[in-house]
Amino acid sequence: MEPKRVVITGMGIVSPVGRTVETYFDNLVAGKSGISRYEAFDSTDYDTKIAGEIKDLEVTDYIDRKEARRMDRFTHFAVIAAQQAVRDSEIRFDSVDREKFGVIVSSGIGGMRIYEKECQTLLEKGPGRVSPLLIPMLIADIAPGYISIHHGLKGVNYATISACASSAHAIGAAFNHIRYGEAIGMLAGGSEAPITRMGVSGFNAMRAISTRNDEPERASRPFDLDRDGFVMGEGGAVLLLEELSHARARGAKIYAELAGIGFSADAYHITAPDADGDGAYRCMRTALACAGMQPKDIDYINAHGTSTPLNDKSETVAIKRVFGDYAYQLAISSTKSMVGHILGGSGAVEAIACVMTLNKQIVHPTINYETPDPDCDLNYVPNKAVKRRVQAVMSNSFGFGGHNVSLLFKEFSS
């Protein structure tokens, strides 16, 4: 069968710099950092005391109080983002085939808060006091489960788990389900709530996260010579993907077209990227081929850009391998410089930034870019947003285990 075209008709987000799509993107363009000292727990004994934390979120403004108590924080973010995406799309589910409408919303880790809390209960009070809701609260696939229940969606429903590429894989998988006629629409994205004692301890033990505690807003500095690790963030984002003819039939507004996807594996190391950027290179090439596009068709890349020494260098190498000399003409920026690394939720959070870039024709900056790294010598849109004609964008997401995803969005044209 002829592959179907897939368009974006709704978006929702909860992030450290905004709880609506417009606020989020406006703050990215303004170069506003969402990094601060976290308040989730006492940081006294921890090497890292900063994160992209979402503060003062009244969950019960969105979710029934009793139901909210039965969800981990990562599920809160996912459910709220999905509500926003549905509202934004103006879709009426009572007038569509719910069996052809699905949900793939992912998390790299799942319910860390509830797991940590109930481990403490187990050790202090014994197994008989562990919550009967522990398992359904912590499993990563509970988020799409709740979303499907809330909206009565009976189609494809699962979560993809691939560390920091999880929600990008979710969007790519949703694309395929629509493209090949298995669904008419999908809610796709991801969320993460990793700012816990165990989360910070684990990444500190790996020496993966920044300890620039005295300058929280300057700590996440992708591609800068003085970067010392990523900064954890939390949040969630969901996009509504729809088959083009279905979107047209209901008169939906169309933000952009998802034109191509690329998946690959490094097959190299459990945490370190291939120094030659081979997995990222093949992933980007696959996305271009899927979309039937050439490297020079791309105007902007939203980089994985974690602010770690190895990732930023290898991603730069991969971009140069794909784009050749044209790499120096690309605009490239890292959303993580402002929101931190939302782990399994980052791909969806950054996909929304890409779609908004196409709609607003402005590229948000990579903040804290102060000292150039000779190994990272491309145009990372340092510190200030740039107005630029943008017709096609690529979003990169790479995860521990060597999981790679590239998503290619372009301006919609009939």
What is the model's pLDDT at position 115? 96
- 364 tagged catalytic: no
| Residue from 169, 177, 246, 304 carrying the catalytic annotation | 304
What is the model's pLDDT at position 31? 98
Its pTM stands at 0.97
- 304 tagged catalytic: yes
| Residue from 177, 246, 341, 403 carrying the catalytic annotation | 341
CA separation for the pair 151, 54 (Å, rounded): 25
DSSP E strand stretches across 91-210: 101-106, 157-158, 185-192
Tokens of 81: 């983002």
Helix (H, G, I), strand (E, B) or coil at 20: coil
CA separation for the pair 145, 362 (Å, rounded): 36
What is the model's pLDDT at position 231? 98
Distances (CA, A) of 106 to 63, 69, 91, 92, 221: 19, 20, 22, 24, 26
- 341 tagged catalytic: yes
Domains of the chain in start order, with CATH, are: 7-249 (3.40.47.10), 262-402 (3.40.47.10)
Residues in the chain where the model's pLDDT stays below 50: none
Distant-in-sequence, close-in-space partners of 28: CB < 8 Å, separation ≥ 6? 17, 335, 338, 353, 364, 385
**Angle value at C-alpha 113, between 110 and 115, nearest 5 degrees:** 75
Indicate the burial class of 239 (C-beta count within 10 angstroms; 0-12, 13-18, 19 or more).
Answer: buried
What is the model's pLDDT at position 353? 98
Write the single-letter amino acid at 213: N
Are the beta carbons of 151 and 91 closer than 8 angstroms? no
